[in-house]
Chains A and B, each alone.
Chain A
Amino acid sequence: MADLAIETQGLVKVYGATRALDGIDLAIPRGGVHGFLGPNGAGKTTAIRILATLIRPDAGTARVLGRDVIHQAHEVRSLVSLTGQFASIDEDLSGRENLRLIAKLYGYGGASATGRADELLEAFGLDDAAAKQVKNYSGGMRRRMDIAASLVATPEVLFLDEPTTGLDPRSRNEVWDIVRALVAHGTTVMLTTQYLDEADQLADRISVIDHGRIIAEGTSTELKASVGAGSLHVRVMHRDDRERARGILIRELGVEVEAMSDPQALVAALEDRGRVTRAITALEDARIELAQLSLGQPTLDEVFLALTGHAAEPGDDAEEAA
């Protein structure tokens, strides 16, 4: 039990008529990154806020590193850190003052609080901006500041709620590097994201969450495998050849081949990648010229669509209930 970072049973949280969490069961081992993937309003933030002891569940139990989030909340707080979706730092204070404040609250004395603050500012590339008020920081700097504030006392579990939402690609890569450094140190990172490539890049295991329920769980490879072995995209050179090519592919691949609206394109969802070579040879033997040929892994987008019946694109719906 103690080697589980997070363990929940039947976690429920209701806001008015909305069941933000509708029975969540998790068993997340220590170490690595666990991704919580889902669209806006799926319940990701609610789940993380319960685990970080910020809100209390209406039903069910949750344990973090073996401690109950309600009855041992104080112990949980001393082992975890949370970086919320919105900058959870004081914008009126400078970066250094923010970190000194938190260091003091953890029990660092005056000089060692300043030392700790400066160590983190330097590591996060914020030393030049240390004396500036946080409200003058760029989005990427603010995010780094926010994560730095969560690491003043090294947590065993770090919750990152949509750490890269709204960041430019470079800042996003920087946050990813930070997450990798945390994992290398041994911190368990629990990350929510609505970006499929982010979960793909960072997470060892992913829980897909939708309407307050976990609808799938596994490594990104496993999740992809659950919707098939990928897809074959073919474009014939001459549109007259398309029907003939389709017949050959159906015969050789043993799956349905879909004709796309592009009059030259065909797509097949594969069950067995091994048969692709033979299919291509057969097309060649039939003297069908190909303009384009590609073999793709299914994307997590396709996974999400297959699992939920709707796309995972960030919607415009109201922000998740806090």
Chain B
Amino acid sequence: MTTQTAPQTAEAAPRPAAIASALASGSRPRRPGALSESLTFGWRALLKIKHSPEQLLDVTLSPVLMVLLFTYLFGGAIAGSVEDYIAFLAPGVLVQSVLIVSMYTGATLREDIDKGVFDRFRALPIWRPSALVGMLLGDTVRYTVAAAVTAIACLFIGWRPAGGVAGVAAGTAVMLVFAFALSWIWTFIAMLVSSQRALMGIAWIAVMPLVFGSNIFVDPSTMPGWLQGWVDVNPVSHAVTAVRDLMNGVSAGSELVWVAGWSAALVAVFGTLTMWRYRDPR
């Protein structure tokens, strides 16, 4: 082996002797646990936000636009007055903002796969779902920002939740759990399609009936029967009702059970499908 002298230029060169000593000291510590690995990936998601905070723009601006659009454009027509409608709309639009933001989790994952960094994670001796779980945990920060901005916009317009701070916090917590579970749909689609554009196309088609075919914007009693049938089983409706009840200071009771059941089912089905594709993605 020849040891070349490092050229005396501005850009530093690798130092073979230092590499040799780094190799000699690279013994492996004890393997961290699944939770610690997931949190490390969550930390990565936060670092990305730190480096490009502009990625929070979509989670802050679009919910505000939604709130303004629906309250002022449709508020009078739907509920008689803006003040009456905001009480009904606010919890629902909170859920809607979070669901739409959650689609970007799939986009981030697709980008990781396309850029190759995902291969690095898959080749590591770690608990396999941790990269995805961590990514979703990191995204709950984005979801919380979206929820907070939406809530502030609604408060500004005149929303006065009867449940108070505690009710809003409980509703937000339920919403985050539901969004985490629903995100596994997006991770699965990200594993199936071959481009970010295709992913977003499919995700929008999937999210439309979930968001609009629900009780977010209007009381379903005015809808035709078949649509009411869908709204009743739509997991988003259950999430919205639960969040609405908590924020309005009403007991959410059975709706919480529904949300918990749906969340568990979503993770069980789409989490499993995602991990199945994870072994051999495109």
Given contacts A101-B40, A126-B12, A128-B12, contact A81 B23 (CB under 8 A): no
Closest residue of chain A to B16 (Cβ to Cβ) is A181
List A contacts of B18 (CB < 8 A). 119, 122-123
In contact, A84 and B119 (Cβ under 8 angstroms) = yes
In contact, A92 and B51 (Cβ under 8 angstroms) = yes
Q: Does A299 contact B (CB under 8 A)?
A: no
Q: Does B224 contact A (CB under 8 A)?
A: no
CA–CA, A102 to B32, complex, Å? Answer: 12
Q: Mark B18-44, 1 if CB is under 8 A from A, else 0.
A: 111111111111111000110010011
List A contacts of B25 (CB < 8 A). 119
Closest residue of chain B to A135 (Cβ to Cβ) is B51
Q: Does A275 contact B (CB under 8 A)?
A: no
CA–CA, A141 to B12, complex, Å? Answer: 9
> For window 44-95 of chain A, which residues contact chain B by CB distance below 8 Å?
49, 52-56, 74-75, 77-78, 80-82, 84-94
Given contacts A56-B280, A125-B15, contact A107 B30 (CB under 8 A): yes
Q: Does A112 contact B (CB under 8 A)?
A: yes
Closest residue of chain A to B13 (Cβ to Cβ) is A125
List A contacts of B43 (CB < 8 A). 101, 104
> For window 90-123 of chain A, which residues contact chain B by CB distance below 8 Å?
90-94, 97, 101-102, 104-109, 112, 116, 119-120, 122-123
Instruction: Give, as a whole number of angstroms, the nearest-CB distance from A73 to chain B.
Output: 9
Question: Which one, B2, B117, B121, B125, contacts A78 given CB within 8 A?
Answer: B125
Q: Does A272 contact B (CB under 8 A)?
A: no
CA–CA, A102 to B11, complex, Å? Answer: 25
Question: Which one, B12, B21, B47, B124, contacts A102 given CB within 8 A?
Answer: B124
CA–CA, A75 to B122, complex, Å? Answer: 13
Q: Does A6 contact B (CB under 8 A)?
A: no
Instruction: Give, as a whole number of angstroms, the nearest-CB distance from B6 to chain A.
Output: 8
Q: Does B14 contact A (CB under 8 A)?
A: yes
List A contacts of B32 (CB < 8 A). 104-107
Q: Does A292 contact B (CB under 8 A)?
A: no
Q: Does A192 contact B (CB under 8 A)?
A: no
Instruction: Give, as a whole number of angstroms, the nearest-CB distance from A137 to chain B.
Output: 11
Instruction: Give, as a whole number of angstroms, the nearest-CB distance from B220 to chain A.
Output: 42
Q: Does A195 contact B (CB under 8 A)?
A: no
Question: Which one, B23, B52, B123, B282, contacts A154 given CB within 8 A?
Answer: B23
CA–CA, A167 to B170, complex, Å? Answer: 55
List A contacts of B280 (CB < 8 A). 55-56
Q: Does A172 contact B (CB under 8 A)?
A: no
CA–CA, A49 to B280, complex, Å? Answer: 10
Given contacts A74-B125, A92-B48, A154-B26, contact A123 B115 (CB under 8 A): no
Instruction: Give, as a whole number of angstroms, the nearest-CB distance from A304 to chain B.
Output: 27
Interface majority SS (helix, strand, loop, mixed), chain B: loop
Q: Tell me the count of chain B residues lying within 8 A, CB to CB, of chain A.
A: 50
Given contacts A56-B280, A123-B18, contact A149 B27 (CB under 8 A): no
List A contacts of B282 (CB < 8 A). 322
CA–CA, A87 to B24, complex, Å? Answer: 25
In contact, B120 and A149 (Cβ under 8 angstroms) = yes
List B contacts of A187 (CB < 8 A). 23
List B contacts of A255 (CB < 8 A). none
Q: Does A24 contact B (CB under 8 A)?
A: no
Question: Which one, B15, B52, B121, contacts A123 given CB within 8 A?
Answer: B15
CA–CA, A90 to B51, complex, Å? Answer: 12
List B contacts of A149 (CB < 8 A). 120
Instruction: Give, as a whole number of angstroms, the nearest-CB distance from B280 to chain A.
Output: 5
Q: Does B201 contact A (CB under 8 A)?
A: no
Q: Does B1 contact A (CB under 8 A)?
A: yes
Instruction: Give, as a whole number of angstroms, the nearest-CB distance from B250 to chain A.
Output: 43
In contact, A177 and B4 (Cβ under 8 angstroms) = yes
Q: Does B162 contact A (CB under 8 A)?
A: no
Q: Does B148 contact A (CB under 8 A)?
A: no
In contact, B16 and A77 (Cβ under 8 angstroms) = no
Cβ contacts A to B, 10 pairs, < 8 Å: A82-B120, A87-B115, A89-B117, A90-B112, A91-B115, A106-B124, A123-B21, A141-B11, A174-B13, A177-B14
Taking Cβ atoms with an 8 Å cutoff, the residues of A that contact B are 49, 52-56, 74-75, 77-78, 80-82, 84-94, 97, 101-102, 104-109, 112, 116, 119-120, 122-128, 133, 138, 141, 144, 149, 151-154, 170, 173-174, 177-178, 180-185, 187, 322
Known contacts A125-B14, A126-B12, A178-B19; can you find 5 more A-B pairs with CB under 8 A? A53-B122, A53-B123, A87-B117, A104-B40, A187-B23
